[in-house]
Amino acid sequence: MMNSKDKAIIIVICFFAALVSWFYVVTEMNPETTEIISDVSIEIRNETDLRDSGLVVANIDTNTIDVRIRGLRNEVINIENTDINAFVDVVGYNEGSNKVPVEINVPENVVLIDYNPKQILCEFEAVINKSVDLEVEINGNEASGYFALQPESSVNTVIVRGPRSVLNSIEKAFVYLDITEASETINKRIPINIYNDKGIELNLETNPSIAEVTVPIYPIKEVEIDIPISGEVMEGYEVKNINIEPKTVLIAGREDIINEVEKVRCEAISVEGADDNIYLPAKFIEGNYYIIESVNPRIEIEIEEIVTKDLIYNVDDIEVINIPEELSLDTIEIPNEFILVTVEGFISVLNQISKEDVNLEVDLTQGIEGSNTVSIELVTDIEISNYEMNPAEATVNLIIDENPDNNEEEVESDQEDIESQ
Phi, psi of 246 (to 5 degrees): -70, 165
Handedness of CA 279, 281, 286, 292 (dihedral sign): positive
Contacts for 339 with CB less than 8 Å, ≥ 6 apart: 312, 313, 314, 315, 317, 318, 360, 376, 389, 390, 391
> Which band of pLDDT confidence, cut at 50, 70 and 90, is reported for residue 9?
low
Contact in structure between 88 and 45 (CB atoms under 8 Å)? yes
| pLDDT bracket for residue 378 (50, 70, 90) | very high
pLDDT digits (tens, 9 = 90+) for 141-182: 999 999 999 999 999 999 998 888 888 888 889 999 999 999
User: Which CATH number fits the domain 314-420, given the four candidates 3.40.50.80, 3.30.565.10, 2.170.120.30, 1.10.540.10?
Assistant: 2.170.120.30
Domain borders along the chain are 1-28, 32-117, 129-215, 220-305, 314-420
The pLDDT value recorded for residue 262 is 93
Please count the other Cβ atoms lying within 10 Å of the Cβ belonging to residue 21. 10
Residue 417 pLDDT > 60, yes or no?
no
Contact by Cβ (8 Å): 129, 163: no
pLDDT bucket at 77, cuts 50 / 70 / 90: confident
Write the single-letter amino acid at 157.
Answer: T
Asked if residues 264 and 291 have their Cβ atoms less than 8 Å apart, the reply is: yes
For the chain, how far is it from start to end, CA to CA, in angstroms?
Answer: 186
pLDDT of residue 421: 44
**What percent of the chain has pLDDT above 90?**
69
Quick one: pLDDT at residue 290?
Answer: 95
408 has a pLDDT exceeding 80? no
Overall pTM > 0.95: no
Residue 244 predicted with pLDDT over 90: yes
Q: Which long-range contacts (CB under 8 A, 24 or more apart) does 105-108 make?
A: 106/67, 106/69, 107/75, 107/79, 107/83
Overall residue count recorded for the chain in this entry = 421
> Are 50 and 90 contacting, i.e. CB atoms less than 8 angstroms apart?
yes
Task: Characterize 280-307 residue by residue with b for buried, 16 or more Cβ atoms within 10 angstroms of its Cβ, and e for exposed.
Answer: eebebeeeebbbbeeeebbbebbbbbbe
Average pLDDT over residues 271-292: 94
- 198 phi and psi, to 5 degrees? -105, 5
- The architecture in CATH of the region 129-215 reads Beta Complex (2.170)
Match domain 32-117 to its CATH number in 2.170.120.30, 2.40.50.180, 2.40.30.170, 2.40.160.10. Answer: 2.170.120.30
pLDDT of residue 2: 57
* Helix ranges, 303-398 (H): 347-350
Nearest by Cα to 376 from 394, 390, 359: 394
Question: What is the residue-averaged pLDDT of the chain?
Answer: 88
Which tens digit of pLDDT belongs to each residue from 203-215? 888 999 999 999 9
Strand partners, 73: none
CATH class of 220-305: mainly beta
pLDDT mean over 349-368: 94
Q: Buried b / exposed e across 46-65, counting CB within 10 Å, b at 16+?
A: eeeebbebebbbbeeeeeeb
